[in-house]
Amino acid sequence: MSETTVTPAIKASIIAESLPYIKRFHGKTVVVKYGGNAMTEERLQKSFAHDIVLLKLIGLNPIVVHGGGPQIDTALKRLGKEGTFIQGMRVTDADTMEVVEWVLGGQVQQDIVMMINQAGGKAIGLTGKDGGLIQAQKKLMPNKENPEQPLDIGYVGEITSIDPAVIKAIIEDQFIPVISPIGFNYEENAVYNINADLVAGKIAEVLMAEKLLLMTNIPGVLDKEGNLLRRLSTSTIDALFADGTITGGMMPKIASALEAAHTGVNSVHIVDGRVPHCLLLEILTNEGVGTMITA
C-alpha cells in the first residue's frame, strides 16, 4: 500500500494504536544504537532522524549511540590501509585509532547531530572523553588456538565504568545526546575504540533504560534456516551461541543485548534498520520489525 492510498481512517487507526504505547513509555529512556544501512542511505537517514525527534516530542528520552564501520573503512582506504577483524572486532593500531577518532567523533557524529537538528530536534554530540563519560581499558580477545595467550588487537577497549552525569544533564535540558563509542583511560592517557553495540548496552544498563534498540542490516536474529526469531529469552540465546547459529558481527550485538536484559533493561530489540521508521514500528505499534529479547 503506497502512502497516497492510505485513507484518513487508516491513518487515524494507526495513530490510535500508538496511544497506549505513548502513555506506557512517556518519560522513559530508550537507547538506540544507530548503524548499518540506516546510516548510509539518505531516505533511511531522514526516517531515523524523524523517528528520534518524534519520540522526544511525545515524551520519551532517546539516546543515540552510533557506529561508523563503513565510514572508517572508506577513510582507511584513502590512506592505503585495509580493515582487519577478529571475532567481529576491528584490529586497531595507533594510526587506525587516529582515523577512528576523527571519523566517529568528528565526521559521523556531527552529520547525525545536524540531521536530527534539521528534523526539528536539538541534538548534542559526545564522546567518551566528555564529562568522563566512558572509561576504558585495553581489551584482549580469547585465543582459541592458545588460550594462555590472549590476542592483542591494539587500541580496542572494554568499558571499565560509565558516568552518566553528562547524559542526564543533557536530557534534563531537553536535548538529544548523540554518543560516539570512544573511551578514555586517564592513567594511560590512551584513547580506545569500543564496539558501539557494547557501549549502547552499557549506557542502557547504567541509566536503567526502558528499551535498548540495536539497528542492523538483517531482519533480526535468524535461525539456521534463515527464519526470523521474533522473541527470545536469554536461555534460548545461550543455545544459539552453543550451536553456532550466532556468529561473527552478530556476537557483540547479542552479547550486549544479553547483558542489558540481565541487568535491568526491560527489553532489547534487534531491529531491521533497512525498514523506514523502524523505531516507531518497534516502539509504538503491535507489529515489530525485529527480534525482542527479554530476561
Q: What is the pLDDT of residues 228-241, one digit of tens each?
A: 888 887 778 777 87
Q: What is the pLDDT of residues 10-58, one digit of tens each?
A: 778 778 888 999 999 999 999 999 988 788 889 999 999 999 999 999 9
* Long-range residue pairs from 278-282, CB within 8 A, at least 24 positions apart, any chain: 278/38, 278/47, 278/51, 278/215, 279/32, 279/48, 279/51, 279/52, 279/55, 279/213, 280/18, 280/51, 280/54, 280/55, 282/213
- Rounded to an integer, the average pLDDT of 4-14 is 70
**Domain range annotation of the chain:** 22-294
Count Cβ neighbours within 10 Å for each residue of 155-191 and write b for 16 or more, e otherwise.
bbbebeebebebbeebbeeebbbbbbbbbbbeeeebb
**According to the annotation, is 146 in a ligand binding site?**
no
Q: What is the pLDDT of residues 239-277, one digit of tens each?
A: 787 777 777 667 777 877 888 888 888 889 999 889 899
The residue type at 233 = S
Q: Running DSSP on this structure, what letter comes out for residue 59?
A: T
pLDDT at position 62, please? 98
> Would you call 216 helix, strand, or coil by DSSP?
strand
- Rounded to an integer, the average pLDDT of 143-158 is 84
Q: How far is CA 225 from CA 30, 70, 171, 229, 230, in A?
A: 31, 28, 42, 11, 14
22-294 is classed CATH 3.20.20.70 = no
pLDDT at position 127, please? 95
Q: What is the pLDDT of residues 168-222, one digit of tens each?
A: 999 999 999 999 999 999 998 999 999 899 999 999 999 999 999 999 888 888 8
**According to the annotation, is 69 in a ligand binding site?**
yes
**According to the annotation, is 125 in a ligand binding site?**
no
Does residue 148 contact residue 183 with C-beta atoms inside 8 Å? no
- In degrees, rounded to 5, the angle at the alpha carbon of residue 200 between the alpha carbons of residues 141 and 221 is 75
**According to the annotation, is 68 in a ligand binding site?**
yes
